[in-house]
Copies of this chain bind each other. A is one copy, B any other.
Amino acid sequence: MKILVVGANGQIGKHLVSFIQETEGVTAKAMIRNDEQAAYFENLGAETVVVDLEKGIETIAIAAEDVDAIVFTAGSGPHTGKDKTIMVDLDGAVKTIEAAKKAGVKRFVMISSFDTRREAILSAPPSFAPYVAAKYYADEWLRQTELDYTIIHPGALTNNKGIGQVEVGVDLARGEVPREDVARVILACLENDATIGKEFQVIKGAKSVTEAIASI
């Protein structure tokens, strides 16, 4: 199974490509913004493809032509300019979804935000609300497709070393989760088709990733 990682050069993306390359039966194709980002992935033995997510659907679709699954983990983050919030977190995600349809790639894993329900847009601090709104619309767009999607809603992301143990659920209390463990969760979803059509929150916890994902 070859997996196109959109946003490979982000912190979750880098962990994910690394885990994929260590795993039997899966290989990664890292979608990156420019050639200077390629060396990290080439050292892991992963393929790379240079695509600017702010360009058209067609170039993303071409990058997706030979893959079996797509992971969208690109993100401007909540603290970039709000123009990037709509252009990357919303429109970049939707273009990737449309590219998946165009390329005939059914399996799609979306890295969303912890709470993207409509009420969360209202209750978010004003500076964070546009980011929640962008993720809300991207998730909604994906739900309306026929793709085999999984939507992952991680808690507050940290750069702490992963512990490989998480808690998953649909209405968890807010909590932290290391980016490294989110990457493990993504890979576990790709390896477990029971996660298709599902979405869940994830924070650090007491279950192994495999066990937690199997419980979904």
Contact = CB atoms under 8 A, between A and B. Distances in A.
Contacts of A72: none
Given A81-B82, A82-B81, A82-B82, A133 B56 contact: no
Interface stretch (A39-47, A84-92, A184-192, A199-207): A84-92
Interface string A132-176: 011001000000100000000000000000000000000000000
* Stoichiometry (number of copies): 2
B56 A130 contact: no
A121 interface: yes
Interface in A96-147: 118, 121-122, 126-127, 129-130, 133-134, 137, 144
A85 to B, nearest CB: 7
Contact of A130 (B82, B121, B127): B82
A83 interface: yes
Interface residues of A, number: 22
Contact of A87 (B56, B129, B144): B129
Nearest to A86: B130
Contacts of A126: 83
Contact of A82 (B85, B121, B127, B137): B85
9 contacts: A55-B122, A81-B82, A82-B82, A83-B126, A83-B129, A85-B86, A87-B133, A90-B133, A137-B137
